[in-house]
Amino acid sequence: MAESWSFLDTFDPNFRPLVVIELAKGTKEETIDWFTKRIVDKKANGGAQLLIKPLVTENGNENIYLVGASHLRLLLGAETVGLVKECNDNSMRTFTYSSRKTFKDFADDNHNFLTMAEGQYIIKHELENLRAKDEKMIPGYPQAKLYPGKSIVRRLLTSGVLVQIFPLHDREELKKLRHSWYGQVKVGYQPLDEIRCYFGETVALYFGFLEYFTFALIPMAVIGIPYYVFAWEDYDKYVMFATFNLLWSTVILEVWKRICAIMTYRWGTLLMKRQFEEPRPGFHGVLGINPVTGREEPVYSSIKRQIRIYLVSLPFVCLCLYFSLYVMMIYFDLEQWALDYHEENESNFSSLMLFVPSIIYAVVIEIMNRIYRYAAEFLTSWENHRLESSYQNHLVLKVLVFNFLNCFASLFYIAFVLFDMKLLRQSLATLLITSQILNQFAESLLPYWLQKRHKKRMKKRMCSLKTDVDLSLVEQVNLEKEMGTYFGTFDDYLELFLQFGYVSLFSCVYPLAAVFAVLNNITEIYSDALKMCRVYKRPFAEPTANIGVWQLAFETMSVISVVTNCILIGMSPQVNALFPDSKMDLILTVALVEHLLLAIKFIMAFVIPDKPRDIQIKLAQLEFESLEALKQQVRATDMYNSEK
Residues that bind a copy of itself (CB under 8 A): 42-44, 49, 72, 76, 79-80, 97-98, 273, 275-276, 291-293, 563, 583-584, 587-588, 591, 595, 617, 620-621, 623-624, 627, 631, 634-635, 637-639, 641-642
CA distance 49 to 70: 9
CA distance 506 to 411: 9
| Shortest Cβ 513–a copy of itself spacing (Å) | 24
338 or 409: CB nearest a copy of itself: 409
In SS3 terms, 356-409 reads as: HHHHHHHHHHHHHHHHHHHHHHHHHHHCCCCEHHHHHHHHHHHHHHHHHHHHHH
CA distance 25 to 35: 15
| Shortest Cβ 583–a copy of itself spacing (Å) | 5
269 or 520: CB nearest a copy of itself: 269
287 or 634: CB nearest a copy of itself: 634
Q: How many residues does the chain have?
A: 644
In SS3 terms, 220-245 reads as: HHHHHHHHHHCCCCCHHHHHHHHHHH
188 or 291: CB nearest a copy of itself: 291
- CB 378, CB 394: distance < 8 Å: no
- 275 phi and psi angles, rounded to 5 deg: -80, 155
446 or 599: CB nearest a copy of itself: 599
128 or 194: CB nearest a copy of itself: 128
CA distance 481 to 536: 10
- 286 phi and psi angles, rounded to 5 deg: -75, 145
| Shortest Cβ 103–a copy of itself spacing (Å) | 16
| Shortest Cβ 205–a copy of itself spacing (Å) | 24
- Alpha carbon of 560 to those of 250, 504, 594: distances in Å? 12, 9, 11
415 or 517: CB nearest a copy of itself: 415
458 or 639: CB nearest a copy of itself: 639
| Shortest Cβ 303–a copy of itself spacing (Å) | 12
- CB 476, CB 166: distance < 8 Å: no
Environment class of 231 (CB within 10 Å of its CB; exposed 0-12, middle 13-18, buried 19+)? exposed
CB neighbours of 511 closer than 8 A, spacing ≥ 6? 220, 223, 224, 225, 227, 228, 238, 241
Letter for the amino acid at 332?
A: F
| Shortest Cβ 17–a copy of itself spacing (Å) | 22
| Shortest Cβ 168–a copy of itself spacing (Å) | 25
- CB 86, CB 103: distance < 8 Å: yes
Cα atoms in the 13 Å half-sphere on the side-chain side of 402 = 31
- CB 576, CB 520: distance < 8 Å: no
CA nearest to 127, candidates 67, 62, 200: 67
- CA–centroid distance for 623 within its chain: 30
CA distance 409 to 402: 10
CA R_g for the chain:
28
| Shortest Cβ 159–a copy of itself spacing (Å) | 27
**CA geometry: angle 250, 256, 260, nearest 5 deg:** 160
- Alpha carbon of 363 to those of 182, 368, 572: distances in Å? 30, 9, 31
CA distance 597 to 239: 13
| Shortest Cβ 86–a copy of itself spacing (Å) | 18
297 or 492: CB nearest a copy of itself: 297
Crossing angle of helices 513-530 and 490-505, rounded to 10°: 170
31 or 384: CB nearest a copy of itself: 384
| Shortest Cβ 584–a copy of itself spacing (Å) | 5
105 or 623: CB nearest a copy of itself: 623
| Shortest Cβ 80–a copy of itself spacing (Å) | 5
60 or 291: CB nearest a copy of itself: 291
- CA–centroid distance for 121 within its chain: 17
311 or 620: CB nearest a copy of itself: 620
| Shortest Cβ 100–a copy of itself spacing (Å) | 11
29 or 109: CB nearest a copy of itself: 109
CA distance 149 to 20: 24
| Shortest Cβ 65–a copy of itself spacing (Å) | 22
- CB 569, CB 575: distance < 8 Å: yes
136 or 631: CB nearest a copy of itself: 631
| Shortest Cβ 193–a copy of itself spacing (Å) | 25
| Shortest Cβ 570–a copy of itself spacing (Å) | 10
